[in-house]
Amino acid sequence: MLIWNVFYENSNHRRIETYNIFHHGYFLEDCVKAAKEHRDDFTKFANDVESSLLYYFWSKCEWEIILSGWPPSDKVREEKIDVFDQIRMNWQVFIHWLWDHREELLRLGEDVV
């Protein structure tokens, strides 16, 4: 199973939780499509995955959280980050990991797409 967890706010429970981005059905579908279309072209695959990440997770309030220091202090500026920012911090690790797991991605896609 593909798992890449990020932090997000569960607005129903009013707490910060982890979320596997591959549970987002449309994002998973786009990754499967990229794997099918670009089986041997890493650069095109990476560009398609990045575009999907931007579309589904970038700068949308439901995917944003605020980071702050602990204990709270006026000297530490809070930062707003979204799911895209969290993945982008480790982009090379993430995209190479996903490329290495594209066969699993395609198998998952048989059930999803």
pLDDT per position as a tens digit, 24-51: 989 999 999 999 999 999 999 999 999 9
pTM of the model: 0.89
Question: What per-residue confidence (pLDDT) applies to 1?
Answer: 85
Question: What per-residue confidence (pLDDT) applies to 72?
Answer: 83
Q: Tell me how far apart the alpha carbons of residues 9 and 92 are, in angstroms, rounded to a whole number.
A: 25
Q: At what angle do helices 91-100 and 42-57 cross, to 10 degrees?
A: 120
Torsion sign, CA atoms 23, 3, 55, 108: negative
> Which amino acid is located at 52 in the chain?
S
The answer on pLDDT for 110 being more than 80 is: no
Reference 52, options 90, 81, 17, 24; nearest CA is 24
The answer on pLDDT for 8 being more than 90 is: yes
Question: What per-residue confidence (pLDDT) applies to 96?
Answer: 98
> How confident is the model over 48-83, as pLDDT tens digits?
999 999 999 999 999 999 998 888 888 888 999 999
Question: What per-residue confidence (pLDDT) applies to 75?
Answer: 86
Confidence category of residue 9, pLDDT binned at 50, 70, 90: very high
Return the domain boundaries, the chain: 5-112
50 within 8 A of 41, measured Cβ to Cβ: no
> Which amino acid is located at 35 in the chain?
A
DSSP bridge partners of 109: none
CB-side neighbour CA atoms (13 Å) of 25: 4
Question: What per-residue confidence (pLDDT) applies to 112?
Answer: 55
Question: What per-residue confidence (pLDDT) applies to 111?
Answer: 67
